[in-house]
Structure 1
Amino acid sequence: MRLAAIYTQVTDVVSPLGESDLGRPSRCAGWTVGDVLYHLLLDARRALVTLASPSDGDPDVDEVTYWRSFRPGGEGYDNHAEHVRQVTAAYPPGALGREWRDTAAAAVRAAQACLYEKVTTQGHVLRTEDFVSTLVFEAAIHYLDMTVDLPGAPPPDLTPTRAVLDGLLGATVGWDDETYALKGTGRLPLSPADEAELGELSTRFPLTG
């Protein structure tokens, strides 16, 4: 299961980190490794609620279209960023990693055991498998964010990430998976050569934030 794989990889990377390593910079402006981990913890908590929230409605988004409304610096971004920084700073040493480990494992078990065909979250209805795919996408991107200053961290499987980005773009590009993930989500800017190669498609970047 891809969710188990990426959540386990996050756990394996953060488990040996001390407080100084959790304070290292991430790719998310103004956030440390610990801040990104707490942001991911919020996602795992939401998964526990969502996987116990069935819906009889028709899905209004899928694993691709769910991401179209997420733009860098969108509404509420600054407030959320500050909330994350403040709460992360309030954790006693070791507590954030332990809570992530326990919650992530519970979210994986909940996903494996969920019998509902459709679930609801954030005002949307999705097929359960599409919702789980959104968790995988977010965890893989934030794994790249967390490990930018953690030499030796193994790369994540970005195959599902590429599939989502292709769906958002409506085309494929020849970049390697990590470059595509970082440019597709606005972590890296497009170069003039990228813009020339993409043509009109370049106006769609970043594809999501």
Structure 2
Amino acid sequence: MELFLRSWAALRTAVADLSDEDLARPSGCAGWLVRDLVCHLVIDAQDVLITLVTPTEAATTRTAASYWEVADAPPSGDDPLDALTVRLAAAYGEPWLLKFHLDDVGSAAGRAAELADPALRVSTRDVVLTAGDYLHAYVMEWTLHHLDLVAHLPKAPRPPAEALAGARALLEEIADAAFPASWTDEDALLVGTGRRAATPEENAELAAAGVRIPLVLG
């Protein structure tokens, strides 16, 4: 729960500090500008709010790790829902409106998470998991998208160290293998999820560690 709050607060702060020019730069997500990614975060925040008020008596079917499904290939950027996000982002017109909406909905999502009972079972995407596991799964979402946000913004703040470490640990649980200990958490996340190509040396280390990449999460 604490990692969710810290990673989400850091991401929202990074967005709040963006200039209009920053929002028009490419993000680390294929086919999306930074403003498109911010629009996606608004939708994510709405999903968090909806899920936390969708309790169920059904038995849990997923954990924080198994919540994520591993796809065969990274998104190409031409998915209809991705295109819809681009149109929604453009519809805001003034960049400050988009940032305001994220701050408004994002703050509410943070408060809802802080008030949630970690043991509460919730339903989302046709699966059931505890609120604690659901919020822990979102540490991965916030941290990876924070890296996407700053991919072409070298002066922007990076994700907090504890969020990077938490997301790496969850990614290793998903992979059922540990990334080389010499790797930084950021490199493990970027290379592990296919956001950066591995060097020949890194590929050799991954092979020795038994880690298969990329782990495309969806």
The aligned residue for residue 104 of structure 2 is 102
The answer for the alignment partner of 1:60 in structure 2 is 61
- Give 5+ residue unaligned stretches, structure 1: none
Matched residues in 1 for 2:124 and 2:172: separation? Answer: 24
Deviation at 1:42, TM superposition (A): 0.8
* Conserved? CA contact 2:31–2:78, under 8 Å: no
In the TM superposition, residue 208 of structure 1 has moved relative to its aligned partner by 2.7
> After alignment, is 3-12 or 26-35 more displaced?
3-12
Q: For this pair of structures, how many residues does the alignment match?
A: 208
3-state SS of the aligned residue for 1:152?
Answer: coil
**How many angstroms does 1:10 deviate by?**
1.8
Task: Please state if 1:155 is matched with 2:158.
Answer: yes
| Corresponding residue of 2:132 | 129
Task: Using the TM superposition, give the Cα deviation of residue 180 of structure 1 relative to its aligned residue in structure 2, in angstroms.
Answer: 0.5
| 1:157-177 Cα distance to aligned partner (Å, 9 max, x none) | 301111111101212122111
Q: Percent identity, aligned pairs only?
A: 34
Deviates more, 1:11-20 or 1:24-33: 11-20
Aligned partners of 2:134 and 2:73: how far apart in 1?
Answer: 21
CA distance in 2, matches of 1:114, 1:71: 34
Distance 1:76 1:47 in 2: 23
Distance 2:215 2:125 in 1: 20
Q: CA deviation at 1:133?
A: 1.0
Verify: 1:170 aligned to 2:176, yes or no.
yes
Shift of 1:96: 0.7
* Structure 1 segment 25-104 matched on structure 2, within 5 A: 25-70=26-71, 72-73=73-74, 78-93=79-94, 94-104=96-106
Residue number in structure 2 paired with 1:113: 115
For 2:150, give the aligned amino acid. Answer: T
Distance 2:122 2:21 in 1: 39
1:172-196 CA distances to partner (integer Å, 9 max, x unpaired)?
Answer: 1221111001111110123322232
Can you list the C-alpha shifts for 1:35-75, whole angstroms capped at 9, x where unaligned?
A: 11111111110010000011111211111111134554469
CA distance in 2, matches of 1:99, 1:72: 32
Asked if the contact 2:61–2:127 (Cα under 8 Å) also holds between the matched residues in 1, the reply is yes
Of 1-10 and 125-134, the range deviating more from structure 2: 1-10
Q: In the superposition, relative to structure 1, how do residues 70 and 58 fare at CA in structure 2: closer, same or farther (>3 Å)?
A: farther
**Structure 1 stretch 171-180 or stretch 3-12: which is displaced more?**
3-12
State the one-letter code of the partner of 1:113. Answer: L
Q: Report the more deviating stretch, 106-115 or 67-76.
A: 67-76
From the superposition, tell whether residues 33 and 73 of structure 1 become closer, same or farther in structure 2 (CA, over 3 Å): same
Aligned to 2:216: 208
CA distance in 1 between counterparts of 2:78 and 2:166 reads 25
Distance change (3 Å), C-alpha of 1:155 and 1:16: closer
CA contact (8 A) 1:36 1:146 kept: yes
1:129-150 alpha-carbon deviations (Å, 9 max, x no partner): 1100122210110010011122
TM-score (norm 1): 0.91
